[in-house]
Chain A
Amino acid sequence: MSIRTKAVWLLLVVIELFILTGCWNRRELNELSIASAFGFDKKKDQYQLTVQVINASEISANKSGGKRLPVITQQLAGGATIFESMRELTKTTPRKIYSSHIRIVVIGEKLAREGIAPVLDILSRDHELRTDFYFIIAKGTKAEDILKVLTPLEKIPSNKLYSSLNSAQNSWGVTSKIDLHELIFDLVSKGKDPALAAIKISGDPEIGESQKNLDSVHPPVTQEYDGMAVFHEDRLVGWLNPFESKGYNFIRGQIKSTIVTVGCPSGGKISIELLRENTKVKARVNDGKLNMEVKIQAEGNIGEVACGSEDISNPETIKGLELAANKEIERMASASITKAKQLKSDIFGFGNAVHRSHRQLWYPLEKEWDEHFVHLPVNIEAELSIRQTGSVVESFLQKMKGD
């Protein structure tokens, strides 16, 4: 290589150094306000956006003294569109909101009753948002109030909402995690209506938003999941109570684990912990009439025996318990179906099941599916198998009674 070519190469390398740093759009952490939750409400004609912004310096582990709040909730009853209000927030926040880390979107009851579809478009269009956050509905209150409550066990309240939604679904089965993708899917498909987890505030919201809520051993204000919100198309039409919500989750096959409680013949109760659950929903045609078949299969262990007279060590007793538990599951499931039929909302996706297996039958029904759903016979069959009895077999209660 001659000196000249070497010089040219060197020059090229130096120029590359400038081009290839690749930081055109870089945003440093100190230039961002990381949002952890959005809340949407409607005030008159305007959308009101509430954003929970993480106060990064308070979250860090080695903070030194100072009692500033871990999060700040900002809201603005701003523009006619949500995008407008989001940008308008920069008037009050020091930095631009960065929304990739959203965990939860709360929607106020009033907005939910008027229709949630308008707020969803921006959430799916903005490239910054991922689709892995969950939707919850503020029952009897505004989204704003839910997001204002400070939580003692989690520094970031939206993390509390997120993880308690997770654990309530995974170990109790009364809520449902629905992300943006699933929600839009439900809204678009004609044979299924959405159902979202509902949350309420217990206590006075005014106290909840101050430091007082963090100072007490027994926090006066908490957010609490309470059943589910039933939608028809994109409008809220009613609520499922926890019992019905469990039934809903049984039919949807979304139970990871839950407790089924059955009574002993002699009084007292036995709790069975479900560990596995699997549901098959099938549309069947008998004599030209459409009916649904729901088969719930579950496996569980005996978790608590609170009656002395039952002899758990007897296989016959176990069989009897299984039958009683089946009845109980069927009761929950049919309670949720009855409620959904009252509300004319096919939250179970029965319509989609018909579409999948009997599409010729589906096309004429498609348009007035709500009417057909109300009169749709549903056959529920639960089959629970008890596998273990925990670390003991017979309960010591039996011995005590015997003496």
Chain B
Amino acid sequence: MLENGQISRQQLFILVFLFSLGSAILIVPSAMALTSKQDSWISALLGVLLGMLLLVLYHSLGKSFPNQNLVQYSEIIAGKFVGRLISFLYLTFFLLLSALVLRNIGDFMTTIVMPETPIQAIFILFMVIIVMGAGLGLEVIGRAAEIFLPWILLLLFILIVFIMPQMEMNRLYPIFEASVKEMIKGSLTILGIPYLELVIFLMILPYVRQTNKRGNAFLWGGFLGGLVLSIITLLCILVLGWDFTSRHSFPSYTLAKKIQVGEFLQRIEVMMAVIWFLTIFFKLVLCFYAAGLGLAQLLRMQTYRPLLPPLALITVVLALIVYPNNVYFRSFASQTWFSYALIFGFIIPITLLAIHKLKKN
């Protein structure tokens, strides 16, 4: 076994929850408002429901091989050659996702907080922590998640409570103005980010200590993560209006900027940015960990740790060249990403599951 550590169900739950928030919390409200306008929150809830179906799919695939991860059982299901090819493709997916997530946090830092800092500096600093976290293994990541969760919840709570005075119910009306088509198109955004990305947990599920009830933790984590995303989207619309939400690169940050309770509680948005830093950290470290672990398994190595520094270098460079500017990214995230993630998040898993079920009968 490459990974000897084990995480508890509770830690799995927290990791899934944080993973679904990471980077999605920055990108999703804006992309949704672009298609389904003031009905985005309905789209979001619809997306969460559809996303739960995906999670059920992942769970049943994972349940068929309770002690093996995706890279291991794709060889069993699809044969040695095809299975390894599939694993390899997944590794590229994980690595690309790592690069995209890294770029998200870099873009956020360089547009909002420190515009003159070279983005490489942020990438490298962030990546050092990621390599360290992934190198320490899943157990440490799980425990770190447990430690940070209360803080993230506290900040989310502060954000939601203190933004309430700024809400204007009128901004929600007319409800159901978006057509069903627009509504579904909007929901695809939240389906692509984060639900199709949660396929990464197929690499992590086998390391959960109690195999019997881990499905519950997985589904609940994904559901609550999606719910928080829907709430943030709803708040963006109530406070900023759909138009502003769709035009801003990072509407949830703009939302935090709006907090103003009396004269004393204001300008706390950078504190709120801690939510994004922490959630993005967990998303990135899991993606990166899955890529390293999978590659080591594919190459039949004894340990994955030596692979991490070179992979980190690749990720940093990839993050630099993965898209030229944020305009490109916006159209990529709303138009291209879904179909790309659909291959890895839906088509391959369901084919694997189908083949496995057929073989068994």
Task: Give the interface of A toward B (CB within 8 A).
Answer: 19, 24-25, 127, 130-132, 181, 184-185, 188-189, 352, 355-357, 359
Contacts and interface: CB of A to CB of B under 8 A. Distances in A.
A153 B308 CA distance: 64
Interface residues of B, number: 22
18 contacts: A19-B125, A24-B114, A24-B116, A25-B114, A25-B115, A25-B117, A130-B257, A130-B267, A131-B254, A131-B257, A181-B240, A181-B244, A184-B243, A185-B241, A185-B244, A189-B243, A355-B173, A359-B174
A237 to B, nearest CB: 23
Contacts of A181: 240, 244, 258
Closest 10 A/B residue pairs (Cβ): A356-B173, A359-B174, A25-B114, A24-B117, A188-B243, A25-B116, A356-B174, A185-B241, A25-B117, A127-B112
Nearest to A188: B243
Given A356-B170, A356-B174, A127 B121 contact: no
Contact of A132 (B170, B177, B244, B260): B260
Contacts of B260: 132
Nearest to A184: B244
B68 interface: no
Nearest to B240: A181
B72 interface: no
Nearest to A353: B170
B111 interface: yes
Interface string B114-132: 1111000100010000000
Interface in B110-157: 111-112, 114-117, 121, 125
A52 B258 CA distance: 25
Contacts of A184: 243-244
Contact of B174 (A131, A132, A185, A355): A355
Nearest to B176: A359
A262 to B, nearest CB: 32
B127 to A, nearest CB: 13
A276 to B, nearest CB: 16
A181 B244 CA distance: 8
Nearest to A128: B115
A127 B173 contact: no
Contact of A24 (B121, B254, B258): B121
Interface of B: 111-112, 114-117, 121, 125, 170, 173-174, 177, 240-241, 243-244, 254, 257-258, 260, 266-267
A123 to B, nearest CB: 13
B174 A357 contact: yes
Contacts of A357: 173-174
A248 B117 CA distance: 47
B243 A185 contact: yes
A19 B254 CA distance: 29
Contacts of B243: 184-185, 188-189
A357 B176 CA distance: 12
Contacts, number: 39
Contacts of A131: 254, 257-258
A130 B259 CA distance: 12
A181 B166 CA distance: 12
Given A24-B114, A25-B115, A127-B111, 7 more contacts: A127-B115, A185-B243, A355-B174, A356-B173, A356-B174, A359-B174, A359-B177
A44 to B, nearest CB: 31
A258 to B, nearest CB: 22
A188 B258 CA distance: 20
Nearest to B239: A181
Most buried by A among B244, B260, B267: B244
A24 B115 CA distance: 10
Contacts of A25: 114-117
Contacts of B267: 130
Contacts of B241: 185
Contacts of A185: 241, 243-244
Contacts of A359: 174, 177
B213 to A, nearest CB: 41
Contacts of B173: 355-357
B132 to A, nearest CB: 11
A345 B111 CA distance: 37
B161 to A, nearest CB: 20
Nearest to A358: B174
A143 B181 CA distance: 48
A189 B267 CA distance: 28
Nearest to B128: A19
A136 to B, nearest CB: 20
A87 to B, nearest CB: 14
A25 B110 CA distance: 11
Contacts of A352: 170
A132 B254 CA distance: 11
A88 B177 CA distance: 46
Contacts of A19: 125
Nearest to B124: A19
A359 B174 CA distance: 7
A25 B121 CA distance: 12
A282 to B, nearest CB: 12
Nearest to A124: B247
Contacts of B117: 24-25
Nearest to B241: A185
A352 B171 CA distance: 10
Nearest to B172: A356
A352 B257 CA distance: 26
A118 to B, nearest CB: 16
A19 B266 CA distance: 30
A306 B78 CA distance: 95
Contacts of B111: 127
A353 to B, nearest CB: 8
B74 to A, nearest CB: 39
A316 B230 CA distance: 54
A331 B116 CA distance: 56
Nearest to A25: B114
A356 B168 CA distance: 13
B113 to A, nearest CB: 8
Nearest to B267: A130
A19 to B, nearest CB: 7
A188 B33 CA distance: 15
Nearest to B243: A188
B131 to A, nearest CB: 13
A127 B241 CA distance: 20
